[in-house]
Amino acid sequence: MLFLLFISVLLLGACRDKTQEVFNSDQLDPAFFKSEWVKKAYILEIGKEPNEALLVHFYDKAIEENPKNVYAYFKRGIYNESLKKEKEAEADYTSAIKIIGNFEPAYYRRGTLLSEKGRYTEAIVDLTTAIALSPSHAQAYNNRAYTYFKMGKLDLAQEDIKTALIADPKSGYAYSTLAEIEWTKGNKEAFYTNIELAMKNQFPAWKYSDDPVFLPLKMDARFIAIVDAYKPLDKGALDGKTYQNKFFNFTFQVPKKWVILDEARMPKNRANLISIYKREQGTPATNPSCLVMAEPMDHPGVATSVDYIQEIKKTLEKSKEPYTFSKEIAKRTIGTIAFDVLTATCDIYPTSAQQFFYVAIIRKHVFIIVTTYYLDEEAQEIEEILKNIEMTPLLNRG
Write the pLDDT tens digit of every residue in 360-386: 998 888 999 999 999 989 999 999 999
Write the pLDDT tens digit of every residue in 46-94: 876 789 999 999 999 999 999 999 999 999 999 999 999 999 999 999 9
**Secondary structure tally for the chain: helices H, strands E:** 15, 12
Q: Are strands 259-260 and 289-296 parallel, antiparallel or unpaired?
A: unpaired
Spell out the residues 6+ positions from residue 312 whose beta carbon is closer than 8 angstroms to its own.
4, 7, 342, 357, 359
Sketch out the chain's domains with CATH numbers.
Answer: 12-230 (1.25.40.10), 237-391 (3.40.1000.10)
Contact 76, 52 (CB under 8 A): no
| pTM, 2 dp | 0.70
Query: Which of these, 126, 73, 132, lies nearest to 143 by C-alpha position?
Result: 126
Q: Which of 81-95, 192-206, 233-247, 371-385 has the lowest mean pLDDT?
A: 233-247
Amino acid identity at 396? N
d(Cα 368, Cα 308) in Å, to the nearest integer? 10
Cβ neighbourhood burial of 1 (10 Å; 0-12, 13-18, 19+): middle
Query: Which of these, 198, 225, 231, lies nearest to 15 by C-alpha position?
Result: 198
Beta bridge partners of residue 274, listed in sequence order: 292
Residue 133, CA distances (Å) to 1, 112, 163, 310, 311 in order: 44, 16, 15, 56, 52
Spell out the residues 6+ positions from residue 125 whose beta carbon is closer than 8 angstroms to its own.
111
Residue 250, CA distances (Å) to 336, 371, 387, 389 in order: 11, 17, 13, 7
Element (H, E) at 352: strand 351-362
Highest mean pLDDT among 2-11, 221-230, 336-345: 336-345
Beta bridge partners of residue 331, listed in sequence order: 340
